[in-house]
Amino acid sequence: LKAIRETRGYSMEELSLTCGLSVDEIADIENGRNADLSKLRRIASALRLPESALIDTAALTQSVENPRPVS
């Protein structure tokens, strides 16, 4: 998310104002924490991206950071 945000020319503060999330919430999402669908949708809308651009990336990040145990 950080790379996308920066490529689009947004600071965290600007994105916060545009999407209605706090800077701390955006920082958490950029660091792989608390990336729920409603927040990702708001960010995608603010960045004028399809939701799938962030949701697919968040799902991949989540699965890499918290892999399922092998049985």
- Structural domain spans, the chain: 2-63
- CA-wise closest residue to 19 among 53, 43, 2: 43
Fold of 2-63: 434 Repressor (Amino-terminal Domain) (1.10.260)
pLDDT range class, residue 55, cuts 50, 70, 90? confident
Per-residue pLDDT, 65: 46
Which range is least confidently modeled, 20-24, 27-31, 42-46, 52-56? 52-56
Start-to-end C-alpha separation, the chain: 32
The pTM of this model reads 0.75
